[in-house]
Amino acid sequence: SAVKENFVVESLEKKERKSKTPPPFMTSTLQQAASTQLGFSPKKTMMVAQKLYEGVKTDRGNMGVITYMRTDSMNLAKEAVAFARDYILDKFGDQYLPKSAKNYVSSSKGAQEAHEAIRPTRVDFDIVTAKDYLGADELKLYRLIYNRFLACQMTDARLESQTLLFKGEKSTFKASGRKLLFDGFYRVTGYHEKDKLLPELEKGQKVTLDDIKPTQHFTEPPPRYNEASLIKKLESLGIGRPSTYAPTITILQTRKYIEIEKKRIHPTEVAFTVIEMLEEHFPEIVDSGFTSNMEAHLDEVDEGKLDWQKVLADFYTPFMEKITKGKANIKSQKMAIPTGEMCPKCGSELLRRKGRYGEFIACSNFPKCKYTTDLEGNAPPEPELTDIPCDKCGAMMVIKDSRRGKFYACSAYPKCKNAKPLVPPRELDVPCPKCGSKILEKEGKRGKFFGCSNYPKCRFISNGEPLERKCPECESMVVHKVLKTGEVYECIEKKCKWSEAVPEEQLKGQTEASK
């Protein structure tokens, strides 16, 4: 039998190979590594990285301990590399230091490389020192960034791969092994694979087969995406930017398009419904190639290679035609499931629909019949009638509720879609720098912002409060911003980098005035 078969070592091959040093982190690779090694979500990774970037309290004062964390670049400052090389030589010896500094190039599709790679700002702020100043999560992420930065400037690791061929009368078997010869950069990142050593044998040596352990393998479907692998896929397709990876996944979760179970991403029924509808009516728009090409065109506009008006014209005209046609078709098919029950008001069939607040029951005869209930049969509260006439159609305004609070809406909806905030927006004393109209304080999805009252004719907008004072460097408008690190005055022009902290006496005055 095969078990008693004798074998001879037909060949013994040993090959030395190098394990290349990993490149420094950019946003996408940091999010992937933090997900797989630390179990951090992309959102958490960016929140912790933001704290490390903005500054932590040390004996040297408040100090940002990493460079900017939204980047698609692998470039490193020469001074930082020089400090790293000195540290490696001093800490680990010359066998861990390559003859020259290592440079890396981003392979990301459409990389803009406006910033450095993510690295520690000071090599002497090492892990031992950092333990005294950083919280648990901050230390975990800082260790990952710090070690990767050192590793990218160290020597490659050397491994030996071994292959043995055993030849018998009826069959030939192969055995493979591996061992680490020199740890190189693994000295700081850690070597997590165990050596797989083979017995020391010589060519022509006779061996006996003791046992055969058969194993069966089936072809399995590709695994579901986790957050790290999804970001890697988006990056390879050229979709998104360093600043958008984490928010994209967060939005998908918030809108209930995906659920994350045991770190794997599962699309929901809502996602399938939305995708089916979008693919039916807007196949070119939801294609990943469209997003990638659009971002490439926008990059060329930014670089001055393409005219922005032509890019918009080529895209917008056919896009709006598709939108108009698609919306009409979607409206007629709007996710509605017949319930088999009759409307108590008009006798038409009731439908189960999906809205922005979840599922509800509505009459199929809408808008003629506006009967609705929740799934338990509870009717929504009636809007509060006012004596204020609509300035567009003359019907009375009513007070309705939304996710952002109460607002005025026309009672003739959906014929008239006029709506206004319950509390009029605050007017600033500062005129719009573009058209001279009044500037209003408004509330949007992302919080407070300031916009021109002449919208949409004038599209001036600012997330900082415009002030009457002028920038001392370029004479443009100055705005007041409240950041996590404190309050600042800043020039509204992006090209002008002027800014200054709000003086303490002014902060006190503002606090007392607000009381």
Q: What is the pLDDT of residue 511?
A: 46
Residue 208 has pLDDT above 70, yes or no: yes
Backbone angles phi, psi at 114, to 5 degrees: -80, -20
Residues 397-407: pLDDT tens digits?
999 877 667 88
Q: What angle do CA 104, 109, 110 make, to 5 degrees?
A: 95
Alpha-carbon distance of 241 to 71, in angstroms, equals 8
Instruction: Tell me phi and psi for residue 470, to 5 degrees.
Output: -105, 150
- Bridge partners for 397 per DSSP: 410
For the cut 90, the answer to whether the pLDDT of residue 365 exceeds it is no
DSSP state of 371: -
What is the model's pLDDT at position 2?
Answer: 46
Query: Region 343-349: what's the mean pLDDT?
Result: 87
Are 27 and 242 in contact, with CB atoms under 8 Å apart?
Answer: yes
HEC string of 11-36 equals EEEEEEEEECCCCCECHHHHHHHHHH
**Percentage of the chain lying above the pLDDT 90 cut:** 42
Give the model's pLDDT for residue 356. 62
Q: Among residues 118, 130, 111, 110, which one has the least CA distance to residue 76?
A: 118
> What is the Cα–Cα distance from 144 to 378, expressed in whole angstroms?
53
Say if residue 502's pLDDT is above 80: yes
pLDDT over 90 at 446, yes or no:
no
Buried-state track 312-348, b at ≥16 Cβ within 10 A, e below 16: eeeeeeeeeeeeeebeeeeeeeeeeeeeeeebeeeee
More confident residue, 110 or 91: 91
Q: At what angle do helices 245-254 and 227-237 cross, to 10 degrees?
A: 120
46 close to 53: Cβ distance less than 8 angstroms: no
What's the CA gap between 19 and 179, in Å, rounded? 12
Amino acid at 161: S
Q: Position of tokens 């061992």?
A: 179
Sheet containing 427-431: order of strands: 427-431, 438-444, 447-452, 461-462
Q: In what helix (H) or strand (E) does residue 487 lie, and over which residues does it extend? A: strand 486-491
| Greatest mean pLDDT range, 158-172, 208-222, 316-330, 359-373 | 158-172
Q: Which two tokens stand for residue 104?
A: 């890396």
The two tokens of residue 437 are 């109209």
**Mean of the pLDDT values across residues 28-54?**
94
pLDDT at residue 357, rounded to an integer: 65
User: Nearest CA to 28 among 190, 166, 232?
Assistant: 232
- Judged by phi (left if over 0) then psi (alpha if -120 to 50, else beta), residue 50 lies in alpha
Q: Please report the DSSP string for 274-342 in residue order.
A: HHHHHHHH-TTTSSHHHHHHHHHHHHHHHTTSS-HHHHHHHHHHHHHHHHHHHHHHHHHT-SEEEEEEE
Q: Residue 513's pLDDT is what?
A: 46
Residue type for position 104: Y
Contact 8, 101 (CB under 8 A): no
Can you give the pLDDT at residue 405? 75
Residue 93's pLDDT band, with cuts at 50, 70 and 90, is very high
249, two tokens: 């996944």
DSSP 433-472: TTT--EEEEEEETTEEEEEETTTTT---EESSEEEEEE-T
pLDDT computed for residue 333 by the predictor? 54
1 has a pLDDT exceeding 50 = no
Local confidence band at 158 (pLDDT 50, 70, 90 cut-offs): very high
Token pair 């967060």 is found at 250
Tell me the average pLDDT across 412-440.
89
DSSP 50: H
CATH number for the domain whose boundaries are 2-19+157-193: 2.70.20.10
58 or 432, which is more confident:
432
Highest mean pLDDT range out of 214-218, 234-238, 431-435?
A: 431-435
The rounded Cα 103 to chain-centroid distance in angstroms is 26
Alpha-carbon distance of 306 to 515, in angstroms, equals 52
Q: What is the mean pLDDT of the chain?
A: 86
- Mean pLDDT calculated for residue range 226-249: 87
Cβ neighbours, 10 Å, residue 97:
19
Within this chain, domains 2-19+157-193 and 230-332 share the same CATH topology: no
CA distance 85 to 256: 48
Find all residues with CB under 8 Å of 285, minimum gap 6, and list them.
278, 319, 322
Active site residues: 68
pLDDT of residue 514: 46
pLDDT of residue 15: 92
**Looking at the DSSP assignment, which residues form a beta bridge with residue 363?**
350
Q: Tell me the β-bridge partners of 431.
A: 438
515 pLDDT higher than 60:
no
Q: Which whole number is the average pLDDT over 158-168?
A: 91
Instruction: Kindly list the domain boundaries of the chain, sorted by start residue.
Output: 2-19+157-193, 230-332, 464-515
Both tokens of 167, joined, read 């030849």
Residues 210, 211, 214, CA angle at the centre, nearest 5°? Answer: 160
**What stretches of 143-247 adopt beta strand conformation (E)?**
157-167, 172-182, 206-208
Q: Report d(CA 121, CA 348) in Å as an integer.
A: 68
Fold of the domain built from segment(s) 230-332: Topoisomerase I; domain 2 (1.10.460)
* pLDDT > 80? residue 68: yes
246-299 pLDDT tens trace: 889 999 988 888 999 888 999 987 788 788 788 878 888 888 788 778 878 888
